[in-house]
Amino acid sequence: MKIFDSLQLGKSIGATCQKCAYFRNDPAVIEDAYPGLTIMSSGFASVRDQDGFCDYNELYLSAGDSCPHFVSRTSEFDQGDKTIID
Amino acid sequence: MTTNDSETSGIKSSGWKEFWSKEDWWAVWLGLGIVCLAYIFYLAGSSISWIAVAPAKWSTLSQLATQFSKNGIKYVALLAACLIVFTTVVSFVGQKPKAFIPSFIFIFIFSTIIYVLGSWDQANRYNLEPPLMALALGLFISNVIGLPRWLDAGFRVEFFIKLGIVLLGATLPFTLIIWAGPVAILQASIVSLVTFLTIFFVARKLGLDHRLAAVLGAGGAVCGVSASIAVAGAVRAKKEHPPIAISLVVFWAIILIFLLPLVSRVLHLPTGVAGAWIGTSEFADAAGLAAAQSYGNLAGTHLGISGTAEQALASYTLIKVIGRDIWIGIWSLVLALISVTVWERSETNSKVQIGQIWWRFPKFVIGFLIASVLTTLIVHGNTLADYNKLVKPSLIIPITALRTWVFTFSFLSIGLTTRFRELAAAGTKPFIAFTCGVIVNVALGYVLSIIVFGHYWSAIVTH
């Protein structure tokens, strides 16, 4: 069944949003972007898992997602001589 | 040069780091730490009551002055302890300690004033319920006077409420959770499903996006803002969807904080029953606890309201935490599956991770349950007379006092962070859809809590 094909055990690996240059999930960034979030929840809460913003697709999504527009943070968006550890 | 991931791009990874980077886990460590410390002192024939200071009932200002001249140092010690512990937490999770310290001192001073006012023997006469006072004062300060934005660093509503819930676990017998848990889950599940479907289908009928409908539905049905933000990530919501849900949840949650206790009071509901209704129909944990605690405090002082304050908190927590909050991972998984297989088939090529049931699980619930088990084991074997004479004053009352402090920090923080001008405009259609859910939720919550299970919730035993 298609529904079971869509399920995955464990964390996604490879070119996921977590490693994408367009993805931002710092809790402080999320709280700044959504000013009302801290009234009755928190950017640092477990329920938020590692979700964050995709600045390419303009979505709020899981760090384990992926899409054809992936850009590695260590390539085009490389920040000077800094290498990002994952 | 190599740098840490979060330093360069704000990408936070998960894994073991969760244990010291999420507020939920810190609520568990601190809550259980306090319970263990209290037990160690109790075993040594002492108590943590020295630092777990709370204002006693007073009727004249001279009595109050005497209290403070005698216990002033204890309040300073409590403030110092809170500052040390909470600043450590703030540093670990990645917030700003420099901004947190003055902000927390501000919260502590106002919480002390609220706690003191609530202990005035005429407080009930003037309806000075500490949770509602804290909320109203916070709303007044943030919306009328105004505060600098940096002070928000100490207004950690969620962290305080989660710590308070873990401490609440230490005052609830585990047998009560086992006895009432299944009913709480049944009642909450019925209301959650009906509320979600109402909001979702009304939103769809009004032409709103599937994902926005799901984000709104989760906010109304499961655990308010936390559910909305969790489901938003799971279904890949548009960036502008969560703020709409946040605005609507906050708007209705604040109305219900005042409305549900008021209606319960008019109906003279027993505290356990009112707590169950509030747990079923309020959206966020902190908002509901403010309502449940303020209503529970009326027991014994207002004619016709039976039960105890602890019953209101117990039934509220069972329904809200056990019946609703812990299922957020399941909701997220199911809605994510529907999203990738039905709603947005072409938008992503990724799969739905089953692990999110655990990753999104509100971990503070683990602390709540462990605290309950610990206290039950500690209390086990004591007669009721021993419990009342030894265990309660040395162990339970100090933990309850600390719980009241952190709840007050949280209620005040709700008001201080709620700036109505800054909330996103929700739009008419989301407002209609969400409001339909609120009406169904409150009505169904009333039927289940009062008519169907009323006898059950009025009889819960909390000691």
pLDDT mean values, one per 10 residues, chain B (463 residues): 41 72 95 96 93 94 94 96 96 91 96 94 84 94 92 94 96 90 94 97 96 96 95 95 96 95 95 97 93 90 86 94 93 92 73 88 96 92 85 93 96 94 87 97 96 92 70
Nearest to B352 by CA among A64, A47, A45: A64
Check whether A78 has a pLDDT greater than 50.
no
**Which B positions 271-310 lie with beta carbon below 8 A of chain A?**
283-287
Of A3, A40, A84, the CB nearest to B284: A40
DSSP secondary structure letter of residue A47: G
Contact between B53 and B67 under an 8 Å Cβ cutoff? The reply is: no
B395 Cα distance to chain centroid:
23
Task: Give the β-pairing of B237-238 and A59-61.
Answer: antiparallel
**Chain B residues with beta carbon closer than 8 angstroms to that of A28:** 10, 94-95
Chain B contact for A32, CB < 8 A? Answer: no
* Residue of B225, B241, B282, B325 to mutate, interface with A, max A Cβ within 10 Å: B225
pLDDT value at residue A77: 45
Query: Distance between CA B188 and CA B149 in Å, rounded?
Result: 37
Chain B contact for A1, CB < 8 A? Answer: no
A41/B4 CB distance under 8 A: no
**Which residue of chain B is at minimal alpha-carbon distance from A62?**
B233
Side-chain-side CA neighbours of A66 within 13 Å: the count stands at 15
A36 Cα distance to chain centroid:
20
Of B152, B242, B362, the CB nearest to A46: B362
**Chain A residues with beta carbon closer than 8 angstroms to that of B2:** 82-83, 85
pLDDT digits (tens, 9 = 90+) for B360-381: 999 999 999 999 999 999 888 8
Inter-chain contacts counted by CB atoms under 8 A, chains A and B? 236
Nearest to B307 by CA among B295, B317, B318: B295
* Residue of A40, A65, A78 to mutate, interface with B, max B Cβ within 10 Å: A40
What is the 3-state secondary structure of B83-109?
HHHHHHHHHHHCCCHHHHHHHHHHHHH
Contact between B431 and B419 under an 8 Å Cβ cutoff? The reply is: no
Query: Distance between CA B165 and CA B360 in Å, rounded?
Result: 18
**Chain A residues with beta carbon closer than 8 angstroms to that of B351:** 5-8, 12
Query: Two tokens at B24?
Result: 């939920």
B350/A67 CB distance under 8 A: yes
**Which residue of chain B is at minimal alpha-carbon distance from A52?**
B233
**Which residue of chain A is at minimal alpha-carbon distance from B253?**
A40
* Residue of A3, A7, A46, A71 to mutate, interface with B, max B Cβ within 10 Å: A46
Query: Distance between CA B167 and CA B397 in Å, rounded?
Result: 11
Which pTM was predicted?
A: 0.91
Q: Classify B329 as helix, strand or coil.
A: helix
Q: Where are the domains of chain B?
A: 20-458
Contact between B26 and B91 under an 8 Å Cβ cutoff? The reply is: no
**Which residue of chain B is at minimal alpha-carbon distance from A66?**
B350
- CATH number for domain B20-458, candidates 2.60.40, 1.20.1070, 3.40.1000, 1.20.1530: 1.20.1530
Contact between A85 and B5 under an 8 Å Cβ cutoff? The reply is: yes
Check whether A84 has a pLDDT greater than 50.
no
pLDDT digits (tens, 9 = 90+) for B298-345: 887 777 889 999 999 999 999 999 999 999 999 999 999 999 888 876
